[in-house]
Structure 1
Amino acid sequence: MSKRALQRKIHVACGQLGYDQETRHDIQLAVTKKASMSDMTETDLKAVISRLEADGWTGSSTKGKRHKPAPRADLRYVHVLWTLLGDAEKLKSPGRDGLNAFVRSRFENKWQSVPFDIDSLRDAGQINDVTRALKDWCMREGIQTEMQKTPAKRRLLK
């Protein structure tokens, strides 16, 4: 890892730990006897990072770790159906990995090849197969998948 990347990592860690610039300088002095990161070697920077990890920094954050929305509306609907089943506690593994495992187990004998990730599906027929299977599952479990039109809405639509 480059010196600049290590310096950025230190700044991120200090920000997540709530340390201000003065505290960061104190830590740098205590660990490396150098106040400025530009004077430090890669080994010095790694030592500062180790100290920040000892202070409780994990090096990862849940912020910004979400997957991008699926590229197609029909794939996004598959995710919505899976979420409905998960919210109703009908799934063993309600996350994205569970959805991918469902697709593999359900369709690997039907399709020539099954994608590693649901969002890489491009064939409309395959996406429809997954949607239909999830809608049928929701129906069996009594989970509403479509917005019901109330009598008032029907009058407005006429």
Structure 2
Amino acid sequence: MSRALQQKIHVGCRKLGLDSDGRRDLQLAVTGKASMKDMNEAELNSVLKRLKTDGFKASSGSKKHKLASRADLRLVHVLWRELGAAGELRDSSRKGLNKFIRARFETTWQSIPADVDMLRQHDQIDQVIQALKSWGKRADIEFAWEDHQR
């Protein structure tokens, strides 16, 4: 548990703009100890409580979808994000990607999954990738991942 608390403290300090010296000063002020290694769980909780008082809001990672386990599905997400960053999308969220897939492939595919990460057929995933690449090409977007492949 203390490792998780230490990670939360590091995240909280980073979000509040504290560097490592600032974090140590805060820890020293709250617990009298500059190093987290010397603190027990109660002291770590005190530091975290102070960070929350100063404006840090810890968020649970459980609300987020896990990354797709397959590289080709991750590529779909990367292409979608890059199209969004280039200003090509009205909705660059995951929901927007799912809407795009439904609209683009509803007449071609027999069934469309509710979420992009539920796609399992390689040819369907490849069709989505090709559609996103074509969109990028029409919009004169050079995808960042292409630089690494050359």
TM-score range, shorter-chain basis? Answer: 0.5 to 0.7
Structure 1 residues without counterparts, runs of 5 or longer: 1-13, 20-59, 150-158
* 1:76 is aligned to 2:110: no
User: Quick one: which amino acid aligns to residue 104 of structure 1?
Assistant: R
Structure-to-structure mapping, 1:99-118, within 5 angstroms: 99-118=97-116
Moved over 3 A (4+): 14-19, 60-63
Query: 1: distance between equivalents of 2:113 and 2:59?
Result: 26
Aligned to 1:97: 95
Per the TM alignment, residue 110 of structure 1 is displaced from its structure 2 partner at its CA by 0.4
Paired residue secondary structure (1:115): coil
Structure-to-structure mapping, 1:54-69, within 5 angstroms: 62-64=59-61, 65-69=63-67
Structure-to-structure mapping, 1:7-156, within 5 angstroms: 15=49, 18=53, 62-64=59-61, 65-145=63-143, 146-147=146-147, 149=150
Paired residue secondary structure (2:112): coil
Aligned to 1:25: none
Larger radius of gyration: 1
Query: 1: distance between equivalents of 2:59 and 2:92?
Result: 18
CA RMSD of aligned residues (A): 2.5
Query: 1: distance between equivalents of 2:58 and 2:52?
Result: 12
Query: 2: distance between equivalents of 1:137 and 1:120?
Result: 22
Per the TM alignment, residue 108 of structure 1 is displaced from its structure 2 partner at its CA by 0.9
Per the TM alignment, residue 17 of structure 1 is displaced from its structure 2 partner at its CA by 5.1
Structure 2 residues without counterparts, runs of 5 or longer: 1-47
